[in-house]
Structure 1
Amino acid sequence: MVDLPFEQFPALSAIGICRHAFAQRIPGIDVSHDKPEVLKRLDAAHRGIRNGIGVDDWLLFTAQQIHGDRIAIVDRADCSGSRVGCEDKQFPGCDGIITNQRGIVLGVYVADCCAVYIVDSKTPAIGLVHSGRKGTELGIVPNAIAQMSDRFGSDPADMIVQLSPCIRPPDYEVDFAAEIVRQCRALGVKTIHDSRVCTARDLKRYYSYRAEKGKTGRMLAVIGLNPTSAN
């Protein structure tokens, strides 16, 4: 079996309460189509990556992603995370998801926008946000952090925030990754990690909507709380 390309972030791996991945460019798949068709073509590979980190049998919750600021909240596990009689769910009109439930996995798709992972290891609770230029201007990451505090009692000072590879200057006119970091610090988040990788600069590893003129694939970001605190 061909190894499927994905990366993991040391800061998240070190926490020990969650599983995560950031899928890279999948070789050999024609992605010069619209987004729905592209996601269909990438689905088997993305499922393989989820299998590789041990979450293939967890329910997958995704967001529709409309470049807005709405956050979906999963505060109870439908069917207790079991796939028996259940289906993966997409939240319409949302660009991020937060949860305190174990044994389910959150997912967002990106191709230049940033996937922002948020982990509160004390509560515990997690969030995953799709934030590009528009979402950052609307403050979607601060919204997710605020809702984690309101709904789960999370303290921003206890959170770890990880930014995925995304497009950056000079390949894009706005450094929204830097603004996300600033927004997090303003809310009291002390531990922030930025991959500092530009998707448009490495088309062998990543898809880039800007560099590939809109005809490209999507990287899948996923994160889920372990069923128990141990890996």
Structure 2
Amino acid sequence: MNQPVLMLKSPLLQVPHGFTTREGGVSPAPFDSLNLGISTADRPDCVLENRRRVLAAFGNPPVVGLSQVHGNQVHVVETAGEREGDGVLTSTPGLLLRVTVADCYPILLHDPLRGVVGALHAGWRGVVLGILPRALELMQARYGSSPDDIRVAVGPGISGPNFQVGPEVLEQFERQDLAFAWPDPEHSGRYRLDLERAIRTQAQRAGICPQHYWALGRCTYADPLFFSHRRDRGQTGRMWALIMLPSQ
């Protein structure tokens, strides 16, 4: 019997959305089972079937994908297709936005007043480069969104206790007063960095109301429900975070 696709959702977002997990696909180990990454060593036919299952859950809409580069470029789109960057915004109903993750944090955005949604890929480089503040500024500039109205939902990602970084990374966070870190108890000269807390702080500084910020709070490294590039040393699958405005 086929296992149903398991997607997690945020209570803040009242539009179609989801954060995929490992469950509900057809890929063999070590990509078992809902691997959505076509660039992995998984069988392409398995990945395509996994993608088909996820997209079917949204009614097979047109999709906006990203060729992610760990930067801060955010696109405003009205049509389907793939762009190079790490964020996308739209006010077009029925257009599904997608980001790919396997330790980095997926961030979904929704302004219910202006009818805008967004999807961001936020690794440590993207956070340092301010992809979330950039997206929020773009929502205000292009759509007239107010921070008071924007909902921010953060999916699964690697947690502070499992995210080891060196001093060169920590220094970049320190320059922005985002270094929520502590010395690594197992490795001298290394640190553990709480990336989700840095994202939360950026949201608050941008004016997002605390009640409009939600984080799943589950660690991809520690929880076997998720793929983790770091835990599995690159031999793992990929997950998606997706969001769309309902078709009118």
State the TM-score, normalizing by the size of structure 1. 0.85
Q: 1:36 aligned to 18, 36, 39, which one? A: 39
Secondary structure class of the residue paired with 1:225: coil
* Alignment pair present for 1:224 and 2:244: yes
Cα distance in structure 1, aligned partners of 2:120 and 2:245:
16
**Which whole-Å deviations, capped at 9, do the CAs of 1:91-133 have from their partners, x for residues lacking one?**
02x0010011101100001000010001000001011000011
Distance apart, 1:153 and its partner CA: 0.8
Cα distance in structure 1, aligned partners of 2:59 and 2:82:
17
Distance apart, 1:32 and its partner CA: 5.3
Cα distance in structure 1, aligned partners of 2:107 and 2:142:
19
2:50 alignment counterpart? 45
Q: 2:101 aligned to 87, 110, 120, which one? A: 110
2:147 alignment counterpart? 156
* Alignment pair present for 1:22 and 2:19: yes
Distance apart, 1:179 and its partner CA: 0.6
* Alignment pair present for 1:55 and 2:37: no
**Which whole-Å deviations, capped at 9, do the CAs of 1:18-50 have from their partners, x for residues lacking one?**
201111014552465886144944232232122
- Equivalences for residues 171-186 of structure 1 within 5 A: 171-172=162-163, 173-186=192-205
Q: 1:90 aligned to 82, 86, 94, which one? A: 82
Cα distance in structure 1, aligned partners of 2:52 and 2:155:
20
Secondary structure class of the residue paired with 1:10: coil
Using the aligned pairs only, state the percent identity. Answer: 27
RMSD: 1.9
Cα distance in structure 2, aligned partners of 1:28 and 1:47:
11
1:214 alignment counterpart? 234
In structure 1, the gaps of 5 or more residues are: 79-87
Cα distance in structure 1, aligned partners of 2:29 and 2:70:
21
Stretches of 4+ moved more than 2 A in 1? 30-35, 37-43
Distance apart, 1:55 and its partner CA: 3.2
Cα distance in structure 2, aligned partners of 1:147 and 1:188:
14
1:10 alignment counterpart? 11
Cα distance in structure 1, aligned partners of 2:161 and 2:233:
16
Residues 31 and 100 (structure 1), Cα distance of their counterparts in 2 relative to 1, 3 Å cut:
farther
2:222 alignment counterpart? 201
Cα distance in structure 1, aligned partners of 2:59 and 2:194:
33
Q: 2:67 aligned to 33, 49, 64, which one? A: 64
1:146 alignment counterpart? 137
Cα distance in structure 1, aligned partners of 2:48 and 2:141:
34
Secondary structure class of the residue paired with 1:201: coil
Residues 42 and 6 (structure 1), Cα distance of their counterparts in 2 relative to 1, 3 Å cut:
farther
Distance apart, 1:67 and its partner CA: 0.3
Secondary structure class of the residue paired with 1:199: coil
**Contact 2:26–2:50 at 8 Å: present in 1 too?**
no
Residues 143 and 162 (structure 1), Cα distance of their counterparts in 2 relative to 1, 3 Å cut:
same
2:91 alignment counterpart? 100
One-letter amino acid matched to 2:236: T
Secondary structure class of the residue paired with 1:221: strand
One-letter amino acid matched to 2:76: I
